Each structure stands twice: as C-alpha cells, then as structure tokens.
Structure 1
Amino acid sequence: MPNLAMVMPYKAYIRKAQAEGFRISAIWDPAEAERLFGAQAARYLQDVEALADGFRLVDFTDRAAYAEAIRAAVRETGADYVWHVGSEESMMLAYEVADELGKAVNSPRSVALLNDKLAMRTLLRDKGISSVRFATAERWPDVAALLADFTLPVVVKPATLSASRGTYLLTDPADLPAWGEMLAAHHYDGPLLVEEYLRGPEFSVETLTVRGEHHVIGVTRKLLGPLPHFVERGHLFGAPDTAETRQVAALAVELLDAVGYQCGPAHTEIILTADGPRIVESQARLGGDKIPDIIQIAQGFDIKRAMFAALAGRAPRLCPAESVGHIAYLSFPSGILRSVSGLDEACGLDFVDTLNFPFSVGDVLPETVSSKTRHGFVILTGSDDAAQALARADRVRELITVEVAAGTPAGEVVAR
C-alpha cells in the first residue's frame, strides 16, 4: 500500500485516498484550519486525526518548522509522495521539500507557474499563448504610473492571493487608495498585476493530469457577481459541447503543457473574448466553490477520488453529463442579522441538494468582497439545462428573507 504525506488533506480527501489504496499522513496548520472552518476548526482537525494514518500540526508560516514537519512525515512513514492540493499560500514550500526528497508529484517550477499569476502571465507572454496586456508593480502606489499605458477600466490584482481576494476592477485612479486598504486587510502588499479588462463569458476548465497526459473532465460556466469585485455568484457544470467550449478546453491543456504539469488536478479560468479565449489564471488543485460536488451531480464522476487514482497512474473514465449541476451563492444586505425565514421551505424543494446559510440571529452578514464573505449557497440537482437551473436558484432566493440592522457590535466576530 503506497504511503502519501499530504499537506492540508480535507476529510473527504483522506477517505477518497484510502479508497484508492493510499495510507495518508496528514499535515495541518491550526491557524489555516481556523481560517477555513472558524469555530469548528478544532473539531475538524480531531476528525482528520481520527481518519488519517498519521497526523501532525505545524505553523505553515514558520518555514523551517513546516519543512521539517514534511521531512519527518516522510521519514516516519516511508512516504512515496508528498502532495499538497490545498491553499496556494502554503503550497510552494511543500513542493520544494518534496523535490529535495525525491518525492515530488510535480516540479516546484510547474506549480509556481500555475499558482503565481505574475509567473504565469510572463510565461504566456514569452511563449505567445493567450496574449493579455499586463504590467507589474511592487506596491499599490506604483500602479498609478502604469495606467497611462492602458485603457480604463483595468483589472488590478495580487500576484499570489486566492479566492478573488484583492482582485478589483479599477475605473478611476482615485480609487487606488481604497484598493490599497483592501490589500492591507488581507495583509498583502505586493507584487501586483495590472491587466487589460477582458470582456466576455467566463469559464473554468477542470482537468486531471496522469503521467503528463491532461484529461478534460469538463467546462464550468462561471457567473460573476457585481463589479468592481470579481466574486462568483454561481457555477454551472455541464456546459454544452460547442466549438467555443472546445476552444476553451484546448487552451487550458496548452497551458498545462507549457508549464510541464505532470500529475493531479488543475482548475484554469478562461474568458471567451471577441478575439478568442484568454486565460485569467490557473491553480494546481481542484476547483473551489464546491465545483467537485456539481461535477458529481451532473456527470456522476467523483473527481476527488479520481485525483488519487491519477496519482496511482490510472486515467479517469469519463461519461457525458446527464444534467446540469449548479451552485448558486446567496447574497443579502450586510449588517447584523435580526431574522431569517424561508430556509425550511427552500430545503424542502425536491431539486435542492444542499442549502447552507451559516449565520444565526445576532451574527454579522459581511459585505461580499471575496469568496470568503459570501452569505451561503444552494446546490441544485436534476436540472435539464442552464435555464432551468438558474430559474430554480432564483426560486430558492425568493423564498429566503432576511432582516438586518446596520452596524457591527463591539467585539463581534463575523460568522464564517
């Protein structure tokens, strides 16, 4: 039975890996668990420890301790591989140590080229792939001097943050200080990207790579919320097979070839502009936002388990989508939650698979400025097409009513 030292394995990942014949030694950071799971973090880590074949905690921001935790896990378990498909912020060091030990699933260079937005843009420019005009700045005040070379609006974004944090549509240079405050709230100061604003429908391509061969699992249609923040309000999986979606998928595969990606999942975001598809960004992991769940609803394909089969060298067995899987995010006015109604009625609809509203009366509904500050979601099942899925999501939203009051109580922690 192969041994796998895995950084940030979610509970589902451990179960799927074990089902594919792997023993899992889990490495987690309590602070990262708290960021993801809030008050449930300690319980979540207890569950991970109970499931895993080995378990250790370490501060990912302490590079020396983090690297040693990986080395110790490999020594103690004889791990065949070290793998990290969680948050990008802690991914690079894991791949560097894995490479040092001869246990890497992918080269550190290939992962850096996918996860780092500046590195990816530079590679694409140098190879003449998916031409997008961009410039770089070390700090946000430096951006103003770059704007003369662009037509406003432009997209400004951090090079290494995930989950849409800090990505902003800049229409007026006077808004730069406000964007700088947003970056500071995420404890980020550079490097930064300025990019031309790409217009058109947005997609993501979900892939699994097995021994250097890239398998397109499917194309997800992304539905954006209000600008200037680029926060998705939903995803539809099961996009029709058209010339346009084939173009989009082919571009994602071209990127993966260009970076030398060898194994595992990737999630590549692409906008279909009037001049053809253009890459927005990519990550060396599964798509977030419950995309694996809507893939399984639409296609009956368990991509979480399949990524461990890919690690074992087994190619995915795919079948066409039989329905459209849809996740729709909830958005309400921000403020202190005074009342909520309609949740039970919405849950009772036969096309609702999962409804999540993680707030109680007295909690604060935050302003939605990233994927971490949305107000919940609904996953819909059994839709024949996108129009039906969207109409069903609207029906759920119509049923849920919230009452909020302005302000944030002193000491109040925003609910997660």
Structure 2
Amino acid sequence: MPNLVMVMPYQAYLGKARAEGFRITAIWDPAEAGRLFGADAPAYLEEVEAQADGLRLVDFTDRVAYADAIRSAVRETGAEHVWHVGSEESMQLAYEVADDLGAAVNSPHSVFLLNDKLAMRTLLRDKGISTVRFATADRWQDVEKLLDGFTLPVVVKPAALSASRGTLLLTDPAGLPAWGDELAALAYSGPLLVEEYLRGPEFSVETMTVRGEHHVLGVTRKLLGPLPHFVERGHLFGEPETAATRQVAALAVELLDAAGYQCGPAHTEVILTADGPRIVESQARLGGDKIPNLIELATGFDVKRAMFAALAGRTSRPERGGLVGHIAYFSFPPGVLRSVSGLDAVRALDYVDTLSFPFAPGDVLPETVSSKTRHGFVILTGSADAAEAQARADRVRALIEVEVR
C-alpha cells in the first residue's frame, strides 16, 4: 500500500484514499481548520487523526515550518507523492517542496497557472485561447487610471483569493475606496485584475486528469446571486449535453492542456457569451460548494474516490445521463436573528438530502458578499430536470421564515 503525504485532506477523502490503496499522512493547519469549521475544528482534526495514518499540525503561513513539515513527513514515511487539493492559498508551496523532493503529483508551474488568476489570464492571452481584455494593478488606488481602456462595468478582483472574496462588479470609480476597504479587511495586498464584464450563462466544468489525459465528468450550471458580488445562490449538476455545453467543456480541456496539468481534479468556470465561451478562472482541486455531492446524487459516481484512482493511474467516469443534483443557498436580510421557523418542515421533505442553517437566535446574519458569508444551504436528492430541482428549492426557501433585527 503506497504512502501519500496529503496537505489538508478533508475527512471525506481519507476513507476513499484507503479504498484505492493509499496510506495517508495528513498535514493540517489548526487556524485554517478554524476558518473552515469554526468551533468544530478541534473535533474535526481529531477525526482526521483517527482516520489517517498520521497527522502533523503546522502553521501554513510559516513557510519554513510548513516546508519542513512536508519534508519530514516524506522522509519518515517514504511517501511516493505529496498532494494538495484543498485551499489554493497554501497549495503552491506544497507543490514546490514536493517538486524538490521528486514527489510532486503536478508541477508547481502547472498548478500556479491554474490557481493564480493573473497567471491563468496571461497564459490564455499568450496562447490565443479564450481572449478576454484585462489589465493589472499592484494597488487598488491604481485601478482608476486603467479604466479608460474598458467600458464600464468591469470586474475587479484579487489574483490570489478564492471563494469570490474581493470580486466585485465595478459600475462607478467612486466605488473603489469601499473595495479597497474590503481588500484590507481580507488582509490582501497582492496583484489585482481588471477584466471586461462577460455576459451570459455561467457554468463550471468538472474534470479528472489521469496521466495527462483530461476526462470531463460533467458540466454544472451556476446560479448567481445579486450583483455587484459574484456569489452563487446555487448549482445544478447534470447540464444536458448540447453543442454549447460541448464547447464549454472543450475549452476547459484546452486550458488544462495549455497548463500542462497531469493528474487529479480541476474545476474550471466558463461564461457562454454571445461571442462563444470564455474562461473565468480555474482551480486544481474538486469543485467547491458541495459539487462532488451533487455529482454523486445525480449519477451515483463517487468523484472523491475517483480522485485517488486517478493518482493510481486508473480512469473512471460517471455514466451518461442521470438525474440533476442541486444545491441552493440561503440569503436572508442581514441583522441579528430573532427567530427562525420551518426547518423541521424542510427536513421532512422526501427530496431533501441535507439542510444546513448554522445560526441560532441572537446570532448575526452577515451581509452575503462571498461564499463564506452565505446563510446556509439545502442539498436536494436527484431531480428529473433543472426545472423540477429549482421548483423544489423554491419550496424550501418558502418554508423557512426568519425574523431579524
């Protein structure tokens, strides 16, 4: 059974790895676990430790300690590979260290080209793929002078943050200082992107790469919430195969080829404009927002296990057709929660797989400006089509009543 050092393996990955023949030494940052799981983080890490063959805790922001933790784990376990398919912010250094050790699943450069929004946009421009007008700035104060080359509105975003954080549709330069405050609150000081605003339906392409060959697992339709923030209010997996979705999927594969990606999952976001599909961004990991759960509900295909099969060189794909998996997010008026009703009625519905509303009276419902500030979600069992799935989600939203102060 080969040894694998894995950074940030989620609990759901560990049993899948063992089923595909891997022993996992896990590396986690308690602070990162706290950001993801809140007060449940200590118990979450205890469960990771119970399921893994070893657990090392380290501060991912301490580059020296983080690199040393990876090196010592490889040295002590004889691991053949180091893998990181968690949060992008800590991914690059892991691949650089793995490359030095001859244990990288993918080259650091290929991962950088996918995860970093500026690097990806530059690669696409240089290859003549999915051309999108863009400009870069080092500070938000420098953005206004770049706007002469664009027609408002434009999209402004940090090059190296995930989960829609700091991404904004800018309609007036007067909104730049508030955006600057948002970036400061996120402690972000890296490169910034100004991009033309792409109009059209938005999709994501879920892929699994095995020995450099890219397999499309399916296309997910993204349902956006209100602008100016690009926060999804839901996802529908199982978009019917049409000429348009084949174009969308082919473009994602073209990006993966250009980046030299060799193994594992990728999640590529694409907008189908009047001029054809255009790539928004990509990540060298599984899709977030529970998309792997939707794939399994819709098709029965275990994409988390398939990820480890890919590492072992084995190819597996979902059957064509199937149902539609749907996750719908809640967004209520912000304020102090006074009361909530209807949750039990929702749980009693036979098409509800999972319901999450992590608030109690007295808690503050924040304004929804990123995926981290949404107000919970419902995952529905497979529906016959998108219309049925969305009607079911509307029924769930109608049942939940909140009162805020």
Coarse TM-score class (shorter-chain normalised): over 0.9
Say if 1:49 and 1:55, in contact at 8 Å, map to a contact too: yes
What is aligned with 1:414?
none
CA shift digits 1:330-383 (9 cap, x unpaired): 110111111000000011111111110011111111100000000000011131
What's the CA shift for 1:317? 3.3
Aligned partner of 2:306 in structure 1 is: 306
Letter aligned with residue 333 of structure 1: P
Q: Identify unmatched segments of 5+ residues in structure 2.
A: none
Secondary structure at 1:227 match in 2: coil
Alignment of 1:17-166 (within 5 A): 17-166=17-166
Q: CA deviation at 1:188?
A: 0.5
Cα distance in 1 for partners of 2:185, 2:301 equals 38
Distance 2:244 2:236 in 1: 16
Q: Deviations over 1:275-311 (max 9, x none)?
A: 0000000000000000000000111110000000000
Letter in 1 for 2:166: G
Q: Over the residues paired in the alignment, what is the CA RMSD in angstroms?
A: 0.5
Matches within 5 A, 1:281-292: 281-292=281-292
What per-residue deviation string (whole Å, max 9, x for no partner) do you get for residues 189-242 of structure 1?
220000000000000000000000000000000000000000000000010100
Amino acid at match of 2:105: V
Amino acid at match of 1:305: R
Helix, strand or coil at the partner of 1:216: strand
Q: State the alpha-carbon separation in 2 of the partners of residues 79 and 54 from structure 1.
A: 12
Q: Distance in 1 between matches of 2:185 and 2:371?
A: 15
Which of 312-321 and 246-255 deviates more?
A: 312-321
Residue pair 1:137, 1:190 contacting (<8 A) in 2 also: no
Q: Deviations over 1:76-133 (max 9, x none)?
A: 1110100000000000000000000000000000000000000000010000000000
Mapped to 1, the partners of 2:88 and 2:324 lie a distance apart of 29
Contact in 1 for aligned 2:326/2:382 (Cα 8 Å): no
- Output aligned runs, 1:320-335, within 5 Å: 320-335=320-335
CA contact (8 A) 1:4 1:81 kept: yes
How many Å separate the matches in 1 of 2:365 and 2:320? 39
Kindly state the Cα deviation for residue 401 of structure 1 after the two structures are TM-superposed. 0.3
Q: CA deviation at 1:320?
A: 1.6
Question: 2:4 — aligned with what?
Answer: 4
CA–CA distance in structure 1, aligned partners of residues 227 and 189 of structure 2: 22
Q: TM-score, with normalisation over the residues of structure 2?
A: 0.99
Counterpart secondary structure, 1:169: strand
Query: Do the aligned residues in 1 keep the contact of 2:217 with 2:317 (CA within 8 Å)?
Result: no
What is the match of residue 171 of structure 2? 171
**What are the within-5 Å matches in structure 2 for residues 250-261 of structure 1?**
250-261=250-261
Q: CA deviation at 1:185?
A: 1.0
Q: After TM superposition, give the deviation of residue 321 of structure 1 in Å.
A: 3.4
Question: Is contact 1:330-1:377 (8 Å) kept?
Answer: yes
Is 1:234 aligned to 2:234, yes or no?
Answer: yes
| Alpha-carbon shift at residue 15 of structure 1 (Å) | 1.1
Larger displacement relative to structure 2 (310-319 or 206-215): 310-319
1:316 Cα deviation from its structure 2 partner: 1.1
Aligned position for 1:350: 350
2:26–2:54 CA contact under 8 A, matched in 1: yes
- 1:119 and 1:356 map into 2 onto residues whose CA distance is 36
Indicate the residue corresponding to 2:199 in structure 1: 199
Please, which runs of 5 or more residues in structure 1 have no aligned partner? 406-416
The aligned counterpart of 1:365 is 365
Amino acid paired to 2:121: R
User: For structure 1, which segment, 85-94 or 185-194, has the greater mean C-alpha deviation from structure 2 after superposition?
Assistant: 185-194
Partners of 2:189 and 2:176 in 1: CA distance: 13
Under a length normalisation based on structure 1, what TM-score does the superposition of the two structures give?
Answer: 0.97
Answer yes or no: is the 8 Å Cα contact 1:140–1:190 preserved in 2.
Answer: no
Q: Tell me the secondary structure at the aligned position of residue 367 of structure 1.
A: coil
The aligned amino acid for 2:252 is A
Q: How far apart are the structure 1 equivalents of 2:240 and 2:284?
A: 25
**Whole-angstrom distance in 2 between the partners of 1:16 and 1:367:** 36
Query: Which residues of 2 match residues 207-286 of structure 1 at below 5 A?
Result: 207-286=207-286
Which amino acid is 1:281 matched to? E
The aligned residue for residue 409 of structure 1 is: none
CA distance in 2, matches of 1:220, 1:185: 31
Secondary structure of 1:235 counterpart: strand
Per-residue CA deviations over 1:21-43 (Å, capped at 9, x if unaligned) read 10000000000000000000011
User: d(CA) in 2 for partners of 1:145 and 1:166?
Assistant: 20
8 A contact 1:140–1:189 mirrored in 2:
no
Q: Distance in 2 between matches of 1:321 and 1:20?
A: 26
Runs of 4+ in 1 over 3 A off after TM superposition: none
Q: For residues 283 and 16 of structure 1, what CA distance do their matches in structure 2 show? A: 21
Given that 1:113 and 1:259 are in contact with CA atoms closer than 8 Å, whether structure 2 keeps it comes out as: yes
